[in-house]
Amino acid sequence: MERTRGIGVLELVTARLVAAVAAAGLLTYFRSTEEAVKSVTEEKVLERSRLVADRSTAGALRAAVTVYFGREGRFPPDKAAVDALVHPPPAFQCPGNDYTYDPAPGTITLAINDLARC
């Protein structure tokens, strides 16, 4: 029997099968990577939104303190008095966030005011 050179049908089928399996694996990998990137991006947007909401809440508290000062001629005596100025009481979006109030100058400061901690 004479030996011929070239690629047989079995080799072609095997090569196509290997290529298909590799393509399926790569497709799965890239899809999961794309979903992970999308998830991380969405989470960053949510974190930024939470921080913006908390800053807005602090701004509303500052406005309430300013109005109180305009009416009473003095700043509220403590944090509980500031909480009583807004209805409902402030609710912060960043986990563990709160504010501090200094009655002497009437300043309100967020405990968490950066994106990395929100």
Query: How is 38-50 classified by DSSP, letter by letter?
Result: HHHHHHHHHHHHH
Token duo for residue 98: 């709160």
Q: What confidence tens digit (pLDDT) does each residue in 11-31 have?
A: 777 888 888 888 888 888 777
Segment holding 110, helix H or strand E: strand 107-110
Most confident segment among 87-91, 108-112, 113-117 = 108-112
**Which pLDDT score, from 0 to 100, does residue 89 have?**
86
DSSP 64: H
For the entire predicted model, the pTM comes to: 0.63
pLDDT band at 116, cuts 50/70/90? confident
**Which pLDDT score, from 0 to 100, does residue 94 have?**
92
